[in-house]
Amino acid sequence: MRTRAAARFGAVQPSATYAVFDMVARLRARGADVVDLGGGDPDFDTADHVVDEAVGALRGGFTHYTPSRGLPGLLEAVSEKLAEDNGVVVDAADGVVVTPSAKHALFAALVTVLDPGDELLVPTPSWVSYTEMARLIGARPVQVPLDGADGFRITAELLERHVSPRTKALLVNSPNNPTGRSLTAEEAGAISRFAVEHDVLLITDEIYEKILYDGRSHLSLAAVPGCADRTITVNGFSKGHAMTGWRLGYAAGPPDLMAQLLKVVQHTVGCTASFVQRGGIAALTGPQEPVEEMTAQYAARRDLLVRGLNSLPGVSCSPPEGAFYAFADVRGTGFADSASFAEWLLREAEVAVMPGSAFGPGGEGFVRLSFATSPKVLRTALDRMGRAAADRMQGALADRG
């Protein structure tokens, strides 16, 4: 039928994270008092100096198209940031492309490197959009299930088991959504050797780079020996700078790939919003204390949530190393799967979480709880979970008796 969407959409799932966002909004509109630990949207407002810069730009008539690659000042700031923070060397003139969101940078990167039928390796559990982006462009996502018992470690053996002659690229996300893992030098070494040996491109999603705990530092794959000329680094402002609503991100990498990626931007969005880019310059070149302060607060929230989760019967949670999600093992709670656990929690405690199954193989048996929300909300969620768990135990005892 000609009135139908393209056949490849048959395999594309809607976004599981947006499904939870939308469900929470619907329930709240009906008056339900839902505590939302579902989505990863910081409760912090964007820093004042960033807002002031964008508002000033708007007031000053900075309301036109910009060069499609991005404002020269932002390209410079990104190139400097990558060199200083990450040890990644890219020229502002031809190694960076600014995009409306990291999500669009990822999509543009995948469109740039994948032909229909090409395979994209995605270690899972993984953020919900990678596999579906690949499917949207007719490529084949190949999931590489990581083992929770092994700390969701990426190993050469696992990658080797899933590589094929059609493997074009490997997508790595660190710090990781949903597991909270951050890449070790050993894993990076294994990835680099694998990529060189099999001539595979690397796409690295570093959006949670600024949110790391316990003194850890971020490792960028493009800075690992052997990787620079085969890596597209994707990053953005949503998480570290609390700028989700601004939609601002970038891709950086080899100039020939960036020249092709630029065509995707030119033919889809043209350029990123002018005043938003001005805010981005302020975020990168202005004071970084707001970023550090938010991360310190996430660390305290992490401790509060993880402690509370571990005191619930049948739940166990290791502290995440980065990002703002607790990935809790709920296999001991007696529920059939993570979706039934999440449904029960929403019904009985009015607490919204993401079932681990939404993040692909390796995620079943876990639920993801976002702590990009205030300690007060986290305490309420934990109280409610504790009460629901106690009621359930009472109910089970009564049934037996």
Which stretches of the chain bind ligand GLU, using CB under 6 A? 15, 17, 39-40, 127-129, 177
Shortest distance (Å) from residue 19 CB to ligand PMP: 14
**Closest among 227, 233, 234, 152 to 195, alpha carbons compared:** 227
C-beta closer to ligand GLU: residue 180 or 286? 180
Shortest distance (Å) from residue 18 CB to ligand PMP: 10
Write b or e for each residue in 325-359: b if 16 or more Cβ atoms lie within 10 A of its Cβ, otherwise e. bbbbbbbebebeebbebbeebbeebbbbbbbbbbb
From the list ligand PMP, ligand GLU, none, pick the one residue 128 interacts with, judged by a Cβ distance below 5 to 8 Å according to partner type.
ligand GLU
Other beta carbons within 10 angstroms of residue 39's beta carbon come to 18
From the list ligand PMP, ligand GLU, none, pick the one residue 101 interacts with, judged by a Cβ distance below 5 to 8 Å according to partner type.
ligand PMP
The per-residue DSSP string of 185-248 comes to: HHHHHHHHHHHHHHT-EEEEE-TTTT-B-TT-----GGGSTTTGGGEEEEEESTTTTT-GGG--
List interacting residues with ligand PMP (CB under 6 A).
Answer: 40, 101-103, 127, 173, 177, 205, 207, 236, 238, 244, 249
C-beta closer to ligand GLU: residue 90 or 243? 243
C-beta closer to ligand GLU: residue 172 or 223? 172
Shortest distance (Å) from residue 40 CB to ligand GLU: 3
Shortest distance (Å) from residue 401 CB to ligand GLU: 42
From the list ligand PMP, ligand GLU, none, pick the one residue 173 interacts with, judged by a Cβ distance below 5 to 8 Å according to partner type.
ligand PMP
Non-local (6+) Cβ contacts of 274 within 8 A are 57, 62, 63, 64, 65, 66, 71
From the list ligand PMP, ligand GLU, none, pick the one residue 192 interacts with, judged by a Cβ distance below 5 to 8 Å according to partner type.
none
**Closest among 382, 320, 388 to 35, alpha carbons compared:** 382
Shortest distance (Å) from residue 177 CB to ligand GLU: 5
